[in-house]
Chains A and B, each alone.
Chain A
Amino acid sequence: MTDQSTDRGAGQRAGREVGRGRLRKEDARLVTGQTNWTDNISVTGLLHLAFLRSPMAHARIERVDVSPALERPGVVAAFSGRDLAGGLGSLPCAWPVTEDIVLPDHPPVAVDEVRHAGDPVAVVVARDRYAAADALEAVEVDYEPLPPVLDLEAALAEDAPLVHADKGTNRSYVWPLKTGEDYETVKRRADVVVTRRFHQQRLIANAMEPRAVVVTPLAASGEYTVYSATQVPHILRVMLATVTGIPEQKLRVVAPDVGGGFGSKLQVYGEEAVALEVARRLGRPVKWTETRSEGYLATHQGRGMIQDIEVAATREGRLLGLKVDLLADMGAYLMLVTPGIPILGAFMYPAIYKMDAYDFTCTGVFTTKTPTDAYRGAGRPEATFAIERIMDELAAELGLDPVELRRRNWIRHEEFPYDSIAGLTYDSGNYEAATEKALALFGYDDLRAEQQKRNERGDTVRLGIGVSTYTEMCGLAPSRVLRDLRYAAGGWEAASIRMLPTGKVEVVTGTSPHGQGHVTSWSQIAADVLGVPFEDIEVVHGDTRAAPQGMDTYGSRSLVVGGSAVHHAAEKVVEKARRVAAHLLEANENDLDFTDGVFTVKGSPEARKTIQEIAFETFTSHDVPDGMEPTLNADQVTDPENFSYPHGTHLCAVEVDTETGQTRIRSYVCVDDVGRVINPVIVEGQVHGGLAQGIAQALYEEAVYDDEGNLVTGTMADYLVPVAGDLPEFVTERTETPATSNPLGVKGVGESGTIASTPAVVGAVVDALRPLGVNDVMMPCTPERVWRAVRSAKEASA
């Protein structure tokens, strides 16, 4: 019953691993509860941390007295921000997007001022989590309230209260990108100009595992092991060394089982730094586990933008130019890649379309809210939403079918590789194929006919159809491009392959999976190149001691960059094995065939050596070619030459009850092109999950703040994560246009569903209501917003 070697779905290439729907090696532990979440870790003498957090959005800290907490039973220590300031530096921002960016200090525990509800002001250390929670109530803090800064436009006014008074402004940066012809010149040639303002609400990632960190010190040697529910153990190690001053080689960071991230665990958090500092001061192991409601305040949020977008076009519907002005909510501080998120989007507004002018500006704005940073898609969902929605509006303006308008503007498949106006080189794609397939699966024409009938009848429940022909850039990233974007690290990925004496294989990867199934997919990649059984491969990850180099997992980069590194490392192993085989078989290397793990001499198939035999020969190294290093290993660090550009066509049909405003998704069809597919089962799962999160942004989720800057949707009971009954059955299909920029032909798939689906759903809602005079509904399209949109349209037409 527990056989893991079975697979599901037809293998596209019989006898090969790549393309097979292998069931995951990861599952056995997870379905039986034999897990290793960070909060599961317990060691002798473990102490528990709890953070006292600001109850208000903005205040001066007049006084913090932790001493009463020390009187509570079981409390070992307590620290204010000032107490910790000596040992801890500012939390890092690795992406200062402009030279003159305003980059404020970010103490892990606030010292003089709190700048968002949930900003920590003190930490207590106790024998168990109950005692720690109790002791928080004893800490005394006096606050002098300061005005909150909540509205992005108001924050930029001359006399606005300041989030960081010492900086003299709430403007963090202005980042422009103007390419092609001058937009204003092009606009004068246009027959039609359509302008819209869209709002990207703040979202909370809600990885099912809350954050957690455990630090175990080896006080005598000054070494520390940090276990963290993180997506980025390698980045965390570098950054914790910087923040704490502990030498990097003394730090080991482990990402044990990690229960989802979606960008929220792509971060270097204050709690991680504080846990390390407390462990250093006390010489005791410590643990901190976030509660869900605490995480809503303390874990970075996503999105948070106002988008002013304008397109200029001819009356035939040819795009001439695109202008985008963004106000991006940074929140209170710049965290690891906060300022860079909207910049990732900057390149994606032109999407799959050809045009003559592109004019983009992003202004980063500080507010007294929880900082924003990466959330699934990170900048690209926002861009895709805005362009796809305004394409709908342009189509409506011109009286064109929205699919037809897209067809008239997209890059034709024979035009690849294509240099986009934003300066990217799209290596491959076939928008026609994906769209045709999607339209057929969806029954587009029939649904349009039904829609027309219902509109003519004046039905209370209207049918709407939404279209999203998206592309995105992922597989982050070519290191040189990152340099040009002022990102402080590279975009390479590392892999090592060790053939063990018994012929089994260890693949070491620098990626850090937290649900993506790398162990399974990497096994498939290595199995094909090495010609060894899938079952003989183990994948090692998420521990800087076992997998010392890596850039971790985010931005749909792992397969594109990390998978390619595994592929190359395996090729290196085969090449080394080939030299040994040639030596042992007394043949010329060029005369050897290598198939399914066996070297044979051309013309004399009885002369053969398996790669497992060679692994043993190199282990003993009794008889290897002169000058060859013993053992059969290889290391590879791969820096991608380009991003990868998944694309696809998503179609959504909704029924909107115009009386109550309730939206129900009737059908959802997507055809994604993520290049060559390593494991179709895993790819399908990634698409499903991505769709759910994109739909959730369209219809359900929003981090709502009140006028004082308190998070109103402060618990999981208030913030509406959809459950099974809230989501439809998806129809997911693929086309397969291989990427040309990596040896596997793969593109990323982790974010495409989220990027594509939001505009498809909102577009469908607006499409349903357009005959009533509605041309936009703000996200999330709550029943009340829909109802109000219908009502104001009725009033306007009356």
Chain B
Amino acid sequence: MTRISVKVDGTAYEDEVEPRLLLVHYLRDRLGLTGTPVGCDTSSCGACTVDLDGASVKSCSVLAVQADGGEVTTVQGLARDGEWTPLQQAFHEQHALQCGYCTPGMIMAARDLLRENPDPDADEVREALEGNMCRCTGYQNIVRAVLAAAASEEVTA
């Protein structure tokens, strides 16, 4: 067992973990943060995408011990006092989700894109989401949502 301390969605945790414990299982099974789902075992689908120290990562392909000393943000940590982020709002308004299983990862990946490129075009959005699969939407409304969120952030900025 290895001792780790990780801050997740603003809360500090200290735990003894097996070195092989995947970050996503640490979040889900140990911390009860089940907002981040698992969709595959080859780091293909991106459903488990979270933010680790300011960059998007696939939490199924990071060991919890690798996150030791780090800071994790999950989809559950985005809204502040019930106020959704522009991306969450845009996903709702643009009908960018159906079953919603890919949504946490999509939002976290899109968030990463907008941090680097606040004003992407549709092709850049499609490219940035290449690590995230959705089986329901055909992606069109997801692209719309990310563009809409980018536009709304600009207005509020």
Q: Please indicate whether A and B come from the same complex rather than being unrelated chains.
A: yes
> Which A residues form the contact surface with B (CB < 8 A)?
1-2, 4, 6, 8, 23-24, 26-35, 37, 39-40, 42, 128-130, 205-210, 257-260, 262, 291-293, 514-517, 681-682, 684-686, 688-693, 715-717, 721, 723-725, 727, 729-730, 753
Q: Would A292 and B100 count as touching, CB distance under 8 A? A: no
Residue B78 at the A interface, CB < 8 A?
Answer: yes
- Give the distance to chain A from B41, nearest Cβ to Cβ, in Å: 5
Alpha-carbon distance A291/B24, docked complex (angstroms): 14
Q: Would B138 and A727 count as touching, CB distance under 8 A? A: yes
User: B residues 6-65 with Cβ under 8 Å of A?
Assistant: 18, 20-21, 25, 28-29, 32-42, 44-45, 47
Q: Would B135 and A292 count as touching, CB distance under 8 A? A: no
Alpha-carbon distance A736/B44, docked complex (angstroms): 39
Instruction: For the complex of A and B, list the 9 residue pairs with the smallest distance between their C-beta atoms, beginning with the closest.
Output: A33-B35, A30-B100, A259-B101, A515-B99, A688-B138, A692-B138, A515-B98, A40-B34, A208-B101
Contact A291 to B41, CB < 8 A, known contacts A689-B98, A729-B122:
yes
The one of A691, A693, A717 in contact with B44, judged by C-beta atoms closer than 8 angstroms, is: A717
Number of interface residues of B (CB under 8 A): 64
Q: Would A689 and B138 count as touching, CB distance under 8 A? A: yes
Chain B residues contacting A681 (CB-CB under 8 Å) are 95
Chain B residue nearest to A33 in the complex (CB): B35
Q: Would B34 and A37 count as touching, CB distance under 8 A? A: yes
Chain A residues contacting B136 (CB-CB under 8 Å) are 208, 260, 515, 685, 689
The one of B32, B44, B140 in contact with A688, judged by C-beta atoms closer than 8 angstroms, is: B140
Alpha-carbon distance A129/B20, docked complex (angstroms): 13
Alpha-carbon distance A39/B37, docked complex (angstroms): 9
User: B residues 86-100 with Cβ under 8 Å of A?
Assistant: 88-89, 91-95, 97-100
Q: Would A209 and B39 count as touching, CB distance under 8 A? A: yes
Chain A residues contacting B21 (CB-CB under 8 Å) are 130
The one of A8, A31, A208, A730 in contact with B45, judged by C-beta atoms closer than 8 angstroms, is: A208
- Give the distance to chain A from B11, nearest Cβ to Cβ, in Å: 15
Q: Would A717 and B88 count as touching, CB distance under 8 A? A: no
Q: Would A292 and B40 count as touching, CB distance under 8 A? A: yes
Q: Would B95 and A24 count as touching, CB distance under 8 A? A: yes
Chain A residues contacting B34 (CB-CB under 8 Å) are 33, 35, 37, 39-40
Chain A residues contacting B140 (CB-CB under 8 Å) are 688, 727, 729-730
Contact A35 to B135, CB < 8 A, known contacts A23-B92, A128-B29, A209-B37:
no
Alpha-carbon distance A210/B42, docked complex (angstroms): 14
- Give the distance to chain A from B70, nearest Cβ to Cβ, in Å: 19
Q: Would B99 and A210 count as touching, CB distance under 8 A? A: no
Alpha-carbon distance A377/B132, docked complex (angstroms): 25
Q: Would B37 and A1 count as touching, CB distance under 8 A? A: no
- Give the distance to chain A from B136, nearest Cβ to Cβ, in Å: 5
Chain A residues contacting B135 (CB-CB under 8 Å) are 205-208, 260, 262, 689, 692-693, 721
Chain A residues contacting B37 (CB-CB under 8 Å) are 35, 37, 39, 209, 259
Alpha-carbon distance A682/B94, docked complex (angstroms): 10
Residue B142 at the A interface, CB < 8 A?
Answer: yes
Q: Would B75 and A208 count as touching, CB distance under 8 A? A: no
Task: Tell me which of A37, A259, A725 has the highest count of chain B C-beta atoms within 10 A of its own C-beta.
Answer: A259
- Give the distance to chain B from A376, nearest Cβ to Cβ, in Å: 10
Task: Tell me which of B37, B47, B122, B135 has the highest count of chain A C-beta atoms within 10 A of its own C-beta.
Answer: B135
Contact A23 to B100, CB < 8 A, known contacts A33-B75, A34-B35:
no
Q: Would B83 and A1 count as touching, CB distance under 8 A? A: yes
Q: Would B39 and A2 count as touching, CB distance under 8 A? A: no
Q: A31-B103, A724-B142 are in contact. List 9 more A-B contacts (CB 8 A).
A: A1-B89, A31-B107, A292-B39, A293-B40, A293-B42, A688-B141, A716-B40, A725-B129, A727-B139
- Give the distance to chain A from B109, nearest Cβ to Cβ, in Å: 10
Contact A1 to B126, CB < 8 A, known contacts A8-B95, A30-B103, A692-B138:
no
Chain B residues contacting A692 (CB-CB under 8 Å) are 135, 137-139
A-B contact pairs, 12 of them (CB 8 A): A27-B92, A31-B92, A32-B84, A33-B34, A209-B37, A209-B99, A515-B99, A684-B141, A688-B137, A688-B139, A725-B126, A730-B138
Chain A residues contacting B126 (CB-CB under 8 Å) are 723-725
Chain A residue nearest to B94 in the complex (CB): A8
Contact A260 to B143, CB < 8 A, known contacts A37-B34, A293-B42, A725-B127:
no
Chain B residues contacting A26 (CB-CB under 8 Å) are 100
Alpha-carbon distance A753/B136, docked complex (angstroms): 12
Task: Tell me which of B82, B97, B138 has the highest count of chain A C-beta atoms within 10 A of its own C-beta.
Answer: B138
User: B residues 117-138 with Cβ under 8 Å of A?
Assistant: 122-123, 125-127, 129-138
Q: Would B42 and A35 count as touching, CB distance under 8 A? A: no
Chain B residues contacting A717 (CB-CB under 8 Å) are 42, 44
The one of B76, B98, B125, B137 in contact with A32, judged by C-beta atoms closer than 8 angstroms, is: B76
Residue B72 at the A interface, CB < 8 A?
Answer: no
